[in-house]
Every structure is written in structure tokens, then in C-alpha cells.
Amino acid sequence: MRWTEGFIAADWGTTNRRAYRIDATGKCVDEFEDDHGVLSITDGNFDAAIGEIRRRLGDLPLLLAGMIGSNRGWKEAPYVPCPAGIDELAAALVWAGQREAIVPGVSYVGQGRADVMRGEEVQLLGAVAAGLVDPMGLVCHPGTHNKWATLRHGKIAEFRTVMTGELFSLLKNHSILSDALQGPVDPNDVFKQAACYAIDNEALPAELFAVRARVLLGQTKKEDGAAYVSGILIGTDVRIGLSTPAAAKITLIGRPELTRLYAAAIAEAKRDVVELDGEQCFLAGIQEIAKRIAA
């Protein structure tokens, strides 16, 4: 097995997976994304799913990250405790076969709370390795379960998860507000106003129901409901994240459609922000791990 000649990297989540073929120079030469997340493997036959990846990208070693290493995935890769860097992740790889390695997640216990992440750690540490983020900074990783991570000397020192994306989905699909949350979400004036209010006030449960009242009483347009609720939720998220003392500039890592919403909310808090593409950070991180296997 010679990882230096190329390998396949996969970011395998709960509902989606993204796989990349990396050549001997470290360049991504092919990739695909689909909705075959770990929960889609209902019969537990991950061997077939692995075979499909190789049929599409080539017969190469596989380096897997994300929920594939959870207790719902192929083979559980125990969490590495904070502080965690690339070296700690590489040293704790779990081998599911002779040519298939799974990257562990990261855990945090302290200050009376506990937290875990899987997949985001590769992007966070990839950004550090690529010199794109302050190794002593604060990073926000928007997603279904948003992460706020504090870096110390290039390692993840501590982090906190906020279930913002999942809360919005639940409200949109299973709440009394559903009818008002079917419109688009953009960082417009409605979104910014809501985010600003949430950053300055602890009134999330009351403000959520107030959306319904405003629509019923003609104080808010129904089509603005999604932007307003998103602003309230993300503003509350930002309020939590910025409670951690850190440098003025916040780094956002993730999909552009999410980072731009958080960037708009953080700007309402008068903080500087830089946005990084999560895919590029993942590729940087996974290649750093692969180098340590080759060594």
C-alpha cells in the first residue's frame, strides 16, 4: 500500500457523502457527491458502499472522515480528546481493512459540559495546515450542528456545538411556524434586523412565537418569515459563540450558502470575519493526515 501514489478521501456524513481522488502530487483529479450518507446504509453493508466509491474513483486506498466513524457508521473510531491536532488524529486512525482508514472525531470535556465533533475537525485543522486561519483564533463552522472552536497553537483546544441548523429544520417542517418558513433565506435587511436583535437580547423562545403573531396581525409579510427566524436563530448562535474571548477576527469555514449568513450576522456584532470554503479546507486537512500514513 503506497499512499504517496494517490488515494481516495471521503467526507462521509449522516445524509451525504463527498469523495475525492487525490493523485501523487496532492491534486484532486476527480470527485463526486451524493445522498448516500451513513443512514442510507440500512442493511449495514458498508463493503458494498466502499466498492461503489472505488468503482467511481479507482482502486486506491481510502481515507474516510465524518460519521462513517461513528457508532452508526462502518467501524467506530473513538474520539480524540482536546487539545487535538493533525498528529493526534493521524496517530488514532482506525483501520477498517488493509487499505481503509477512518479518521477519529474530537471530544471536549470541561467547564461543566461535554461536546463531540466528527468531520469538522479535518476542515478546521486543514485550514491551520494551509495557513488560512490564525492558529490562536476562533473558528465558526456552520452546519446542521454549528461548531465554535478555539484554536491554541494550531490545535483544537475547546469547542461548543449549537444545533441551529437542525432547529430551523424542525421549525420549518414540524412546528406551528411551518407555513411561514417556506420562503428563501437571504442575508437581507429582515435577516440582519432579526440577527442584531438576537445578539443583543436573550429572547429566543418568545421571538419565535412572535413571528406567527406578526404575520397574523399584518406586522410582517409571510414571505419574510424564513429570513426572520433564520436571523433570530443564527443571531442567538453568534451570541453564544462570541461569549468566548478571542481575537477580533472570526474565521468561518463551510459551504458558502451558510457562511454568508453567519458573516452577515457576525457583522451585526461589529466583528471582522473571513470566509473559507469547507471543501478546500477538508482536502488540505486530509492530505496532511495521509502524509503521516505515508511516513
Query: Which residues, 6 or more positions from 45, have their beta carbon under 8 angstroms from its beta carbon?
Result: none
Residue 258 sits at the vertex; the CA angle it makes with 256 and 259, to the nearest 5 degrees, is: 65
Q: Is residue 291 part of a domain?
A: no
Assess if residue 294 is contained within a domain.
no
Q: Is residue 50 part of a domain?
A: yes
C-beta separation of 31 from 21 below 8 A: yes
Task: Answer yes or no: do 125 and 211 share one domain.
Answer: no
Q: Write down the pLDDT at residue 142.
A: 97
Any idea what the CATH number is for the domain that residue 92 is in? Answer: 3.30.420.300
- At which of 133, 153, 171 does a domain end? 133
* 100 and 14 within one domain: yes
99 and 172, same domain (yes or no): no
The distance between the two most distant Cα atoms of the chain, rounded to a whole number of Å, is: 67
Question: Per residue in 241-267, pLDDT tens?
Answer: 998 776 667 999 999 999 999 999 999
pLDDT at residue 293 above 60?
A: yes
Do residues 9 and 97 share a domain?
yes
Q: Please check whether residue 182 lies inside any domain of the structure.
A: yes
**Contact predicate 266/260, CB 8 Å:** no
Prediction pTM value? 0.94
**Strand 17-22, strand 7-12: pairing:** antiparallel
Lookup: cell for 256: 458558502
Q: Are residues 218 and 114 in the same domain?
A: no
Report the number of distinct structural domains present in the chain.
2
Beta bridge partners of 54: none
Query: Considering the domain boundaries, does residue 168 fall inside one?
Result: yes
End-to-end CA distance of the chain: 12
Q: Establish if 150 belongs to a structural domain.
A: no
Q: What b/e readout covers 168-203, taking b as 16+ CB neighbours within 10 angstroms?
A: beebbeebebeebbeeebebeebbbbbbbbbbeeee
Q: Encode pLDDT of 260-291 as tens digits.
A: 999 999 999 999 999 999 999 999 999 999 99
Dist. CA 217–CA 90, nearest whole Å: 57
Do 61 and 125 fall into the same domain?
yes
Please indicate, yes or no, if residue 254 is contained in any of the structural domains. Answer: yes
Give yes or no: residues 15 and 123 share one domain: yes
* 54 plus 170 within the same structural domain: no
Residue 49 lies inside a defined structural domain of this protein: yes
| pLDDT at residue 246, rounded to an integer | 66
According to the model, what pLDDT value does residue 2 have?
73
CATH number at residue 256: 3.30.420.310
One domain, residues 85 and 190 = no
109 and 178 part of one domain = no
pLDDT digits (tens, 9 = 90+) for 140-182: 999 999 999 999 999 999 999 999 999 999 999 999 999 999 9
Domain with 88, as residue range(s), is 3-133
Cβ atoms of 218 and 294 closer than 8 Å = no
- State the average pLDDT over residues 74-91: 97
